[in-house]
Structures are given as C-alpha cells and as structure tokens.
C-alpha cells in the first residue's frame, strides 16, 4: 500500500516536472553563460531592468522601437525589487542598462565598483549634457565624474480638494500662500466628531511618504551641503522642517492622527486619503495629473495644484521644488559598453524621452524633450514643468552614505512626528554619527 502510494506520488511529480520543463512558456531557459556573442558581433539581445515600472507593457512597447531601428531585441524587466538590482549588478551577467527609481544609491554603488563611469560613453555617443536640466543632474555628478543620467524626474507640489475648501468657507481657487497660512487652512479643514474622533484632516505633512527634503529646502537647507562633503543634519533648516511638520501631529494628538491615516486605503486606490476626501491638502508628484492616478481612481475629484508655498519670512523662496527621480546606470560588468552606450543615447533622444514621459506623465529631463507639444495637453502639467525649471528648484545631493543616512533620518522623522520627540538632540546625535562616516567613505 505505502509503496504503491509513494511510487505513484513520485512518478506524478516526475511527470509534472517533465511536462513543466517542456512547457512552451516562451521563456528562454536560464542556462548561465549562454548567448555571450563573440566581441564585436551584434549582441543577440539587450536586457533593460527598470526598478520603477507600473506599466511594463508600455515600457516593453517603447523599447521595441529600438529593436525596430537597430534589429537588436530588447528585453525589459520591470518592476524590479531593489535587492535584485544589487545582486544583478554584482553578478557575472548584469543587465545592459539599469533604470533606478532614484539616484540615492548611485554613489555607494559607484564606491563598490559596480557602476560604469559614463563620461566616455557620453562623449563618444553624442549625448549633449548641456541639454539636461541642471537640477536632476545633481545626484549623478561626483566632481567631474558622471555615474548616471536622469531619465525623467519628479517634483512635488501642493494638491488641494476644492469641494472641501468650499465646505470650510475657503476660496476653492486659492491655495495657501505661505506655510503659516497653510497651517491655518489645515486647521479649518480638520473636522472632529462629537466623540472626539477625527473625520477629516486638513494636511498631513508626511502623506503619502516623507517630504522633509521639500520642507528643508523651503527653510533654506538640506541634510548634505551642496557638494556632498558635509553632513548638515543638525542645521537650522532641518530642525525647522521637522518642527514645522510636528505641529500637525501634536495639535490633534499623534495617536489620533495615526489612527485616522491607518484607516485609509492604498495609495493606488479610490480610498487613498486625498482621493476619498479625508485629507484636504496633500504633497504629491506630477504623475497625479496624468492618466494613471486621479483620473483613473477618482475621476470625480475636483482638485487644484500649485507649488508648495514658502515661509512668510522668505517670500523669495516661492516656486521651490526638490527634484528627484529616475536615473539610468550602466553596470561595470556589461558585455559591451558600446552597445549599452548606444541604447542609452537612444533612450535620451528627445522623441523617445518625451514619449516615455508623456505616457506616464513624468517630467522630461532634457530641454529638447520638454519642448514636445504633447506635454501641453496634460492638464495641470505646466505647474510641474515650470517648477522644475524654476531657479529655486534643486536636486538631491547624494553621497556614498545616502542610504544609511536616509534610514536614520526616516527613524528620526517617525520619532519626531509620530512619537513627539524633540528633533534637535536626535539630529545632533545623527550628525555626530554620520559626519565621520561620510569623511571615511569619501577617502
């Protein structure tokens, strides 16, 4: 009995495994070392990995155009978990191009010798660096060395719900003009029911994620100095930025606010706090005005969008933004630098870049692409294009320790905003830890 059963189980497994192995799933078998064409010949395919990627079909369609032009098939893998990118970069057969969601890891990857320095490729493939907007280039530069090129970018602005403004007796067409006014507006837009529970909230500073970089910029600073040689975590702008955010929590009780936000739905769903009318103002990016967000999940929402207001004491800081977004890198271990370089140059050509950015409603990073008329057709997009081009807008300064510092700052934000801690001692402590770390890493 037992024997029979076991034998049948085993043979069943064998048959299924064999069947599965022969199944025409249309995927290449993953034998290591296959397909490495001899140097000089055309590669049989190029592999592009894109960390960000809500719409892989559209991305594949875009790169199919390169195949049509060059005859080389391009295989797009999107989205990719960050851990996998690291493993692939260090592996023996890295993809030919990797598109990272942000530039924060670039310097530490460069330090690990897994990235190709792009200066030569840029020179030889005719990419015009002068055409790039300066702000998104900041995270790619390290002195004269260029480790990545931006491929579209993001900038954040203030969204407000016009219906809720009207209900609260505010002019639905006028957003707050200063950060102080925003606090007053938020107060008017917050509702508490008879049991003391929040039912609507005016503004949550770290919704849907942290925006400390933007607030710090509005207060005149950042957590690194401009050339990335100093940690400035305990600078006044950082302290101000955290304190300003903290008040939104302390006023109604951090626990109450957290309870309220935890009951809201996913970011990409009709129940997202702002879409659902539970939050009256939010900070979010340019993709919101595109086809995949508000108009997909909550087409009935009546909203406005404007640059985030400056502090009253610094009206000259109006139109401030912090640019951060997608960058392209080439792994150090690619088979053919030349082929990767060609593909990179193609990706940066004005019409391709514009097409990709229009499709997902992201900001184009070259002036040539930004001139594309299609961007004018997206309602509200001009707010973001103007913001990126604004002289007050900066990029994220990155260093080899951006990652660790980011983790630590995230902790501090949680402690200050959600647990009511004083920002100054925490920032000082982190400053003392990270300044020597940065010095060591830059050696």
Partner 1 sequence: MEEIAISTPLSAEEIQRQHIRRRRLAAIRRGIGQLFSHLLILAMGMFFLIPFFWMVITSLKSDQDVFRTPPTWVPHDSVSVVIDGKEYPLYHVQIDGQTMELALVSVAEGRGDFIDPADPSKTYPQVRMKFATQILRVGLRWRNYIDAMSRATRPGLGVNFWTYFRNSLVIAFFTIAGTLLSNSPVAYAFARIRFPGREALFIFVLATMMLPYQVTMIPLYLFFNESLHWGDSFLPLIVPAFFANAYDVFLLRQFFRTIPEEMADAARVDGASEFDIFTRIVLPLSVPVLAAVTVFTFLWAWNDFQGPLLYLTSPQNFTMSLGLQDFKSQRAVAWNLLMAASVVFTIPIIIAFFFAQKTFIQGIKLTGLKE
Partner 2 sequence: MNIVSKAGGAFRLKRPAWNKRTRLNFWIGMLFIAPWTIGFLAFTVYPMGASLVYSFSEYHMRAPLQWIGLANYANLFQDKLFYTALVNTTYMVVVGVPLTLLLSFMCAIVLNIKVPGQSIYRVIYYLPSIVPTIASTMLWLWILNPNSGLMNMFLGAFGIEGPNWLKDPLWAKPSLILLSLWGMGGTIIIYLSGLQDVPVSLIEAAELDGANWWQRLLNITVPMVSPITLFNLITGVIGMFQYFAQAYVFGNSTAGAIGSPLNSTLFYSVYLYQTGFQFLKMGYASAMAWILFFVILGCTILLLKVSNRFTYYSG
Q: Does 301 bind partner 1 (CB under 8 A)?
A: yes
Q: Does 421 bind partner 2 (CB under 8 A)?
A: no
Among 70, 230, 261, 295, binds partner 1 (CB under 8 A): 295
Here's the x/- map for partner 2, 177-216, by CB under 8 A: it reads as: ----------------------------------------
CA distance 142 to 226: 11
Q: Does 403 bind partner 2 (CB under 8 A)?
A: yes
344, 95 Cβ separation under 8 angstroms: no
| Sign of the dihedral defined by the CA atoms of residues 141, 147, 148, 149, in that order | positive
76 binds, among partner 1, partner 2, none (CB under 5 to 8 A by kind): partner 1
Task: Please tell me the count of residues contacting partner 2 according to CB under 8 A.
Answer: 26
CA distance 216 to 235: 10
149, 140 Cβ separation under 8 angstroms: yes
Q: What is the DSSP string of 227-292?
A: TSSSB-TTSHHHHHHHHHHHHHHHHH-HHHHHHHHHTS--TTSTTSTTTTTSEEEEEEEGGGGSTT
Among 90, 336, 390, 392, binds partner 2 (CB under 8 A): 90
Q: Does 269 bind partner 1 (CB under 8 A)?
A: yes
Q: Does 17 bind partner 2 (CB under 8 A)?
A: no
Q: Which H or E element spans position 342?
A: helix 337-348
In the complex with partner 2, the residue whose CB is nearer, 254 or 389, is 254
CA distance 277 to 414: 25
Listed ranges 195-203, 293-301, 323-331, 433-441: which one lies at the site for partner 1 (CB under 8 A):
293-301
246 binds, among partner 2, partner 1, none (CB under 5 to 8 A by kind): none
113 binds, among partner 2, partner 1, none (CB under 5 to 8 A by kind): partner 2
Among 8, 11, 55, 113, binds partner 2 (CB under 8 A): 113
Listed ranges 15-23, 234-242, 250-258, 431-439: which one lies at the site for partner 1 (CB under 8 A):
15-23
Interhelix angle for 402-413 vs 423-442, to 10°? 170
Here's the x/- map for partner 2, 270-309, by CB under 8 A: it reads as: -x--------------------------------------
Q: Is 51 helix (H, G, I), strand (E, B) or coil?
A: coil
CA distance 232 to 238: 8
Which two three-digit tokens encode residue 30?
């993953």
Among 43, 52, 278, 286, binds partner 1 (CB under 8 A): 52
Comparing C-alpha atoms, which of 394, 375, 391, 399 is closest to residue 323?
394
CB of 412 to partner 2, least distance (A): 11
DSSP secondary structure letter of residue 301: -
381, 361 Cβ separation under 8 angstroms: yes
Here's the x/- map for partner 1, 60-89, by CB under 8 A: it reads as: x--x----------xxxxxx-x-xx--xx-
Q: Does 337 bind partner 2 (CB under 8 A)?
A: no
CA distance 275 to 267: 9
CB of 32 to partner 1, least distance (A): 5
Binding site for partner 1 (CB under 8 A): 2-3, 5-6, 8-10, 13-14, 16-17, 20-21, 23, 25-28, 30-33, 52, 54, 56-57, 59-60, 63, 74-79, 81, 83-84, 87-88, 90-93, 208, 265-269, 271, 295, 299-302
């Amino acid at each position: 009995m037992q024997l029979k059963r076991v034998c049948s189980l085993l043979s069943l497994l064998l048959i299924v495994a064999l069947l599965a192995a022969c199944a025409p799933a249309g995927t290449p078998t993953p034998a290591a070392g296959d397909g490495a064409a001899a140097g000089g010949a055309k590669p049989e395919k190029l592999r592009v990995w894109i960390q960000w990627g809500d719409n892989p079909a559209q991305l594949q369609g875009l790169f199919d155009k390169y195949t049509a032009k060059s005859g080389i098939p391009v295989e797009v893998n999107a989205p990719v978990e960050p851990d996998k990118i690291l493993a692939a970069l260090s592996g023996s057969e890295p993809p030919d191009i990797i598109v990272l969601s942000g530039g924060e890891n670039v310097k530490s990857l460069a330090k690990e010798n897994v990235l190709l320095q792009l200066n030569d490729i840029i020179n030889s493939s005719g990419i015009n660096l002068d055409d790039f907007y300066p702000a998104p280039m900041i995270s790619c530069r390290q002195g004269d060395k260029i480790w990545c090129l931006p491929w579209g970018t993001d900038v954040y602005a203030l969204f407000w719900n016009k219906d809720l403004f009207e209900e609260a007796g505010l002019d639905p067409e006028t957003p707050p003009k200063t950060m102080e006014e925003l606090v007053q507006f938020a107060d008017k837009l917050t509702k508490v029911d008879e049991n003391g529970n929040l039912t609507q909230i005016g503004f949550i500073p770290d919704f849907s994620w942290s925006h400390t970089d933007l607030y710090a910029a509005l207060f005149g600073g950042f957590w690194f100095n401009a050339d990335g040689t100093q940690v400035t975590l305990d600078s006044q702008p950082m302290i101000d930025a955290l304190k300003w955010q903290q008040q939104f929590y302390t006023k109604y009780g951090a626990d109450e606010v957290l309870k309220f936000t935890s009951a809201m739905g996913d970011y990409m769903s009709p129940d997202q706090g702002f879409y659902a009318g539970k939050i009256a103002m939010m900070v979010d990016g340019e993709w919101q005005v595109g086809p995949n967000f508000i108009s997909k999940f909550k087409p009935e929402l009546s909203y406005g969008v404007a640059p985030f207001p400056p502090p009253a004491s610094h009206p000259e800081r109006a139109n401030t933004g912090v640019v951060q977004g997608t960058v392209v890198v080439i792994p150090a271990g690619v088979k053919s630098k030349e082929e990767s370089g060609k593909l990179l140059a193609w990706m940066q050509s004005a019409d391709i870049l514009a097409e990709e950015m229009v499709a997902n409603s992201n900001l184009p990073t070259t002036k040539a692409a930004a001139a594309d008329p299609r961007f004018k057709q997206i309602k509200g997009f001009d707010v973001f294009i103007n913001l990126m081009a604004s002289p007050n807008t900066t990029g994220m300064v990155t260093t080899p320790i951006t990652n660790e510092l980011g983790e630590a700052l995230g902790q501090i934000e949680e402690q200050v905003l959600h647990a009511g801690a004083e920002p100054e001692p925490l920032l000082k402590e982190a400053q003392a830890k990270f300044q020597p770390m940065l010095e060591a890493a830059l050696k």
